[in-house]
Amino acid sequence: MRRILIWLPLLLFVAFIGLFASGLFQPDDRIIHSRLVGQPLPAFDLPAAASDRPGLSSEAMTSGQPRLLNIFASWCVPCMVEAPQLMALKQAGVAIDAIAIRDARSDVDAFLARNGNPYQRIGLDARSAVQIALGSSGVPETFVIDGRGRIAYQHIGEIRADDVPTILARLEDAR
Amino acid sequence: MIAEAGLIALWLAASLALLQLFLAFAGLKGGKVELLAAMRPVAVAQGVLTALAFALLITLFLRSDMSVLLVAMNSHSAKPWLYKFAGTWGNHEGSMLLWVAVMGVAGGAVALFERALRRDTHMATLGAQAAISLGFYAFLLFSSNPFARVDPPPPDGQGLNPLLQDPGLAFHPPTLYLGYVGLSVAFSFAVGALLTRAVDAAFARAMRPWVLGAWILLTLGITAGSYWAYYELGWGGWWFWDPVENASLMPWLAATALLHSVTVLATRDGLRAWTIMLAVVAFSMSMVGTFLVRSGILTSVHAFAVDPERGSFILALLAVYIGGALALFGWRIGSVREGAPFELVSRETLLVVNNLLLSVILGIVLIGTLYPLMTEAFGHKVSVGAPYFDRIAGPIALTLMIAMAVGPLTRWRRDRLPAVGRRLVIPATGGAMAAVFIAAVAWGRIGPLPFFGLTVAIGVGIASLAPLWKRKLLRTPLFTWGMVIAHLGCAVSLAGMACDSAFTVEKLVAARPGEAIRTAGWTLRFVKIMPLAGDNWTALQADMAVDRGGRAVMMRPQSRFFTSPPTTTSEAALLTQWDGQLYVVLGEEVEGGRWQLRIWWKPFVTLIWFGGVLIALGGALALVGHERRGWLVKWRSRRAVA
């Protein structure tokens, strides 16, 4: 018994060293995976955020075809940065809907006039309620929604040019 | 030239460490204890050289020598001199140099001042200290050189993290490091004793002052760090169970256990193997903590420049030193005789209980800190927060406090249960009365843990003073005073923690100048908000006239903007009263010219740190008490010889 006790600390320590080494050499993984991936969209029905587009409801996102749901705001600078990528996706035939966060219709109109309008429908989430239900922590974020209205993928931050292939691939997967 | 001189000093110190190790090896192998005389100056010179290297780095920071990479990365010529000075250790390389300097100076001190230790054990101890130092010299010289130059030198530096630009930086890290790294001496003592098979009461008496010294500084360092985080971060909390805080708490827990077990070994010649194990564990926890912080495998507010190469280097050092010491323990401890036995009802038993509970808490903190790492190895990501630590460690800590009340009232070797019970009547009555009073006043407002915390604090507070009853206070030995004050400090600190978590009132408001806010009996009149320029920052400062019926006092929370590097920090305004602190943080402007204000009234929160200082003071009294007794004995025997 005493013999085992004597060597126990060393054995424990060796286990710790193994743990530390595995922690040290594991590739740094800073991607946050949303718990909502695989879940159906939360139910919502939002009024129109722009003058020339209808509002957005969760039912409208269940169209049988995968679509993108872009969370943006007219006051958000990175949203301007991702606008060309969204236009390119639209050109590639992707259906894109959007939710504008804490926004005003005139501001959204001005934003779309300046940066282009890739959206089919835009809902206004004046108090971030839907954004919170979606588990989205900021703007911009983009969700891939499959044909049955389930969240297939979440992209946090602005879409850069080299993110476009990933998003197209995810859309294809969700088909 | 200064940087090169510093580097040379470091290389010389490293070579001396090698020589010291060689001398110890030769001396022990050949049985030539007289080589100790040669080792002494080597160890002292090593200490002097490391201190010199550190002083040279401070000089470089004070002169803002931007041709030195470390200065350029972490300092700025427009900083006030205090932050240039303290900025020396506000970064990875500088703090590792401080680590090495503390280690070198501690080794020198052991060579110079230690006289009670058997000579062969002394040699082995100095050899072990040199061996550990060598690893850290290598780490510094090969992967964290603080004296590296940059060519061409930048026009100015990148500045110091504004959160660190606070007088706290001048005090907290050096004190903490002195304690943290000072524990290396206990580690070396343990290794030395194992190598020379000298684990006995005389050894424990020789080791005790070194453990006590490191423990006092560690206590002060943690207390200062806690208060600094409390007022500088502006979150109103005093402990966050952050990995770095845990990294300082774990060595403290081990050192506290060691302090008590070494007393059993010194007084009663018991707990031999256990004491050696704790001495190894205490400094091992310091090294593990350093690894966790510097390798970046855990996320923490104390982010250092993270570098996997450095992580691997420290991991290798850990494996060699801790693994080596534990292997030596397994190999040699079998030949150490069992210490003196003791009865079940005795102070020894209570000290064993103390040790076990401290070890359990240490285990809980260690597991909680490493749990995210363990689950990540299996593909899950979790974080462990305050609820785990509070709920699991809290009740055990309260049990420990009760053992702390009983211990000093129990006799060494053998006591009778009824007698111990009689001595506990008054403290228990006090605690029970406190419980009734608190329940009557605050029932429904106070959670179970704070309730028991406050009750135990009062009972233990009374019990901690009990060893002084019926004694002539002036003739009571200084180390008894030390124990009493340190234990009282624990009770005081616990009372502060319980009051803070039970009775804190928090209020979050948006107010415009001219408005008044009422909370917890206080009235805060928001007078105005003004811009303000400091040395290397500008700020918005709110003037709040604060009163609770008497004269109004001005409180001035700020939101500070630093330019190098560009950051915003909030400077909380604190108003300290005898019965607590008012804590005001100025937030951002919201619509309509209103400002977010966060206000806390924290009853008796200051007791937390006051208790911490009492604990350290108690340690200091015990240290002086033990040492003075040693001097008296020596002086008398010298006189007797004459």
Residue B256 to chain A, least CA–CA distance (Å): 19
**Separation of alpha carbons B393 and B306, rounded Å:** 30
CB contact under 8 A, A6 and B334: yes
CATH fold for the domain made of A45-173: Glutaredoxin (3.40.30)
Average pLDDT over residues B475-500: 93
Write the pLDDT tens digit of every residue in B235-271: 778 888 888 888 889 999 999 999 999 999 998 888 8
Q: How far is CA B287 from CA B91, B269, B490, B506, B599, in A?
A: 17, 29, 26, 38, 39
**Separation of alpha carbons B6 and A158, rounded Å:** 48
Residue B319 to chain A, least CA–CA distance (Å): 7
Specify the pLDDT at position A26: 67
Specify the pLDDT at position B399: 93
Q: Kindly list the residues from chain A whose CB atom is less than 8 angstroms away from the CB atom of residue B323.
A: 10, 13-14, 17
Q: Does the ipTM exceed 0.85? A: no
Residue B513 to chain A, least CA–CA distance (Å): 27
Residue A23 is nearest to which of B288, B327, B373, comparing CB atoms?
Answer: B373
Judge if the upstream peptide bond of residue B565 is cis by omega within 30 degrees of 0.
Answer: yes
Specify the pLDDT at position B301: 55
Write the pLDDT tens digit of every residue in B460-480: 999 999 888 878 888 888 889
Q: Which of A22-26, B80-84, B87-91, B503-507 has the lowest mean pLDDT?
A: A22-26
CA angle B18, B22, B23 (to 5 degrees): 120
Specify the pLDDT at position A34: 66
b/e per residue B411-432 (b: at least 16 CB within 10 A): eeeebeeeebeebbeebbebbe
DSSP codes joined into one string, B420-488 = HHHHTHHHHHHHHHHHHHHHHHHTTTS-HHHHHHHHHHHHHHHHHHGGGTTS-GGGS-HHHHHHHHHHH
Percentage of residues in chain B having pLDDT higher than 90: 51
Judge if the upstream peptide bond of residue B152 is cis by omega within 30 degrees of 0.
Answer: yes
Specify the pLDDT at position B256: 96
Q: Of A85-94, B4-13, B72-81, B244-253, where does the model show the most confidence?
A: B4-13
Average pLDDT over residues B524-552: 88
Q: How many CB pairs under 8 A join A and B?
A: 55
Q: Kindly list the residues from chain A whose CB atom is less than 8 angstroms away from the CB atom of residue B318.
A: 17, 20
Chain B: residue nearest A30 by CA? B381
Q: Kindly list the residues from chain B whose CB atom is less than 8 angstroms away from the CB atom of residue A9.
A: 277, 280-281, 326, 329-330
The CATH number assigned to the domain with range B1-165 reads 1.20.120
Residue B154 banded pLDDT, cuts 50, 70, 90: confident
> Quick one: tokens of B144?
């964290």
Specify the pLDDT at position B481: 93
Average pLDDT over residues A120-124: 93
Residue B374 banded pLDDT, cuts 50, 70, 90: confident
Average pLDDT over residues A44-72: 89
Residue B330 is nearest to which of A7, A19, A20, comparing CB atoms?
Answer: A7
Interface residue of B287, B298, B373 to substitute, partner A, most A CBs within 10 Å: B373
Phi and psi at residue A71, to the nearest 5°: -100, 120
Q: How many CB atoms lie within 10 A of CB B472?
A: 7
CB contact under 8 A, A23 and B327: no
CA angle A153, A155, A159 (to 5 degrees): 135
Average pLDDT over residues B199-220: 93
Q: How many CB atoms lie within 10 A of CB B11?
A: 14
CB contact under 8 A, A24 and B376: no
Q: Where along chain A do its domains lie?
A: 45-173
Specify the pLDDT at position B302: 56
Decide: pTM greater than 0.90: no
Specify the pLDDT at position B635: 74
More confidently predicted of B462 and B231 = B462
Residue A59 to chain B, least CA–CA distance (Å): 33
Region for residue B145 given its phi and psi (left: phi exceeds 0; alpha: psi -120 to 50; beta: otherwise): beta
Residue A155 banded pLDDT, cuts 50, 70, 90: confident
Residues B368 and B241 sit within 8 Å (Cβ to Cβ): yes
Q: Where along chain B do its domains lie?
A: 1-165, 183-337+345-394+406-413, 424-503+612-636, 508-603
Specify the pLDDT at position B171: 87
- Examine the pLDDT at B176 and tell me if it is beyond 60: yes
Q: CA B491 from chain center: how many Å?
A: 18
Chain B: residue nearest A24 by CA? B297
Q: For chain A, give the mean pLDDT.
A: 86
Interface residue of A20, A29, A34, A102 to substitute, partner B, most B CBs within 10 Å: A20
Chain A: residue nearest B276 by CA? A6
Average pLDDT over residues B481-502: 94
Q: Which of residues 15-44 of A touch B (CB under 8 A)?
A: 16-17, 19-26
**Separation of alpha carbons A55 and A67, rounded Å:** 16
Q: How many CB atoms lie within 10 A of CB B386?
A: 12
Residue B454 banded pLDDT, cuts 50, 70, 90: very high
**Separation of alpha carbons B616 and B614, rounded Å:** 5
Specify the pLDDT at position B146: 92
